[in-house]
Structure 1
Amino acid sequence: MKNMGYLGPKGSFSEEAIHLFIATHPEFNETQPALIPFPTIPRLLIACNEQEVDWAFVPLENSTEGQVGVTMDTLGQTEHLFITHEFIHPIDQCLLAHEPMPLEQIERVYSHEQAIGQCRDFLGKHLPHAEQLTCLSTAEAAHKISSIRENWAAIGPRRAAHLYNLHLLQECIQDVTLNATRFVLVGHSLAEMSGGEDKTSLLIMAENMPGSLYHILGEFDKLHINLSRIESRPSRRQLGEYVFFVDVDGYVFAPPIQDVLWAFKEKNIYVKLLGSYPKAHT
């Protein structure tokens, strides 16, 4: 049986999303993979890179808080992984506690940094007095407050309340109602062209000199290739040096994208293919 890793433990948004992902993708329905929780995203992606798991299901970006930097950084450092699918999952954040209590009595709020960021306005308005502490996942935060009888709360999914016997103090506390996270499935081989709309993800390293990003973007413009996303991250080699994560419309072996990649090669611009896969539709 093949296996698929995700950011655990049980009750995380990643676990909630991975079940829906599998249910909506027939290729995983006949022989469902074993689901294996991992404590952190880097450990999960490294385990996949070393073939300890067949696939890794990880969050890449959120519509409210933006990029999940640790996912992008680790994908940039691995050598044998490709994004094969993307999946958009709506995120409703809930305030959880071990028993009903007024909000003014809450002394601490635990959650993943992304969840805290997605609820910044709610926390500032209703819990300005509460200390905010980060955990490796929303599920870990829920588990933490379930075992200690203090005036502590956690931010996480409804499912975590059920799993850890917690009370829902308030639902849908995220600042943006239409809050969603883009997850990607990462494997060891490049996905085939879907026959529909595809997307290609690239990591590009530009020289630290005037106009370098302009020239990179110009190559896509020349061939009328649409960029649907561009994000920068530190290269981790020296201060002031950045790499760019780019999503473009089309499959990697389509002639226009091949022409762009050839142009980059001639200009000694480093490019890493992160994957080419079917577009997810919201």
Structure 2
Amino acid sequence: MTDVKSKLAGSVQGPVGYLGPEGTFSDEAAQAFFLPETPRRPYSTIPMVYEGLNRWEIDAAVLPIENSIEGAVNQTLDALIENPGLFIVGEIILPVCHHFLVPPDVDWTEVTEVYSHPQPLAQCRHFLENRLPNAQATATNSTAEGAKKALQVSTAESPKGAIASEFVAKTYGLEIAVRDVQSRPNNKTRFVVVGRQLTEPTGNDKTSIVCALPSDRPGGLYEILREFAEREINLSRIESRPTKYELGQYLFFIDCAGHQRDRKVSEALNAIGRFTILTRVLGSYVRG
């Protein structure tokens, strides 16, 4: 644990929220980022985690934001926009291994329904299509919830399965029928730590911003990107997301190297304000 990360993790005294129930990848990320004695509180959905923050039930939250196979976790992006008083204060990147789980004594080839969070279901699409073509894929709020449901509703006539981690299998007493069922190797998920206070520069930072153009016109996005390029600021991620107000209108999420207080980054942020109707810093934080 780096000194900066240790300082941040140690500064959180109250509970840390995560997408539950116990045993999810978000739970693992929270355990990896914060001190062992930090209390953790699960929530059923990502919006409910943010409600917990807004109600001061928790001091921070750990949420998935991006997967190397399926891309952005849109609920987390939307929640960052809808909660301007909350900021990204850290990140952690976890390798993700998805396994196909079944209740004890179930023949996995006979499974009729598979439960999991929508992201793992998408990340394991090839396995489901090729090895269980007749099984229905059913989305749940989390991988742990899917595992619990498979255990509860499975019958001899209609056996159920789940896609989740080895940690979930051990937590809820399921068997790993097939290991590593994700479509591609080196599957990783990036989690962000969300809190109420902006962080100090460390020299090894990343800044996340969101911006919007006043109209859809040629060269609009280029004008924004040019300000970073001219200052030799590396961009590690660009993601577009509908504004939900009008078809064809988008928000642009951008991750750049550096802290918002760094001279070059500050200059770029001020410069792009000439071309946008919205420029908001979602947070500056130590790179995971």
Q: 1:47 aligned to 2:52?
A: yes
Q: How many residues align?
A: 272
User: Paired residue for 2:6?
Assistant: none
**Deviation digits for residues 11-62 of structure 1 (CA, Å, limit 9, x no counterpart):** 211112211222xxxxx46xx3210000001110232134331101000101
Q: 1:118 aligned to 2:123?
A: yes
Given candidates 201, 206, 215, the residue that maps to 2:208 is: 201
User: Paired residue for 1:21?
Assistant: 33
In structure 2, relative to structure 1, the CA distance for the partners of 1:241 and 1:143 (3 Å cut) is same
User: Paired residue for 2:173?
Assistant: 165
User: Paired residue for 2:14?
Assistant: 2
CA contact under 8 A between 1:191 and 1:277: conserved in structure 2?
yes
- Cα offset, 1:268, TM superposition: 4.7
Given candidates 247, 254, 269, the residue that maps to 1:246 is: 254
Q: 1:220 aligned to 2:189?
A: no
CA contact under 8 A between 2:151 and 2:160: conserved in structure 1?
no
Q: 1:130 aligned to 2:148?
A: no
- Cα offset, 1:143, TM superposition: 0.6
CA contact under 8 A between 1:93 and 1:171: conserved in structure 2?
yes
- Cα offset, 1:210, TM superposition: 2.3
- Cα offset, 1:186, TM superposition: 0.5
The one-letter code sitting in structure 2 at the alignment partner of 1:278 is: V
Structure 1: state its 5+ residue gaps: 23-27
User: Paired residue for 1:190?
Assistant: 198
Given candidates 264, 270, 274, the residue that maps to 1:266 is: 274
CA-atom RMSD, angstroms? 1.4
- Cα offset, 1:271, TM superposition: 0.5
**Deviation digits for residues 63-83 of structure 1 (CA, Å, limit 9, x no counterpart):** 111100110011111121111
The one-letter code sitting in structure 2 at the alignment partner of 1:147 is: Q
Counterpart of 1:123 in 2: which secondary structure? helix
User: Paired residue for 2:153?
Assistant: 148
User: Paired residue for 2:110?
Assistant: 105
TM-score normalised per structure 1: 0.92
CA contact under 8 A between 1:49 and 1:79: conserved in structure 2?
no
Structure 2: state its 5+ residue gaps: 1-12
1:100 and 1:78 map into 2 onto residues whose CA distance is 46
Q: Percent identity?
A: 39
- Cα offset, 1:225, TM superposition: 1.1
Moved more, 261-270 or 271-280: 261-270
User: Paired residue for 1:176?
Assistant: 184
1:177 and 1:111 map into 2 onto residues whose CA distance is 19
- Cα offset, 1:86, TM superposition: 0.5
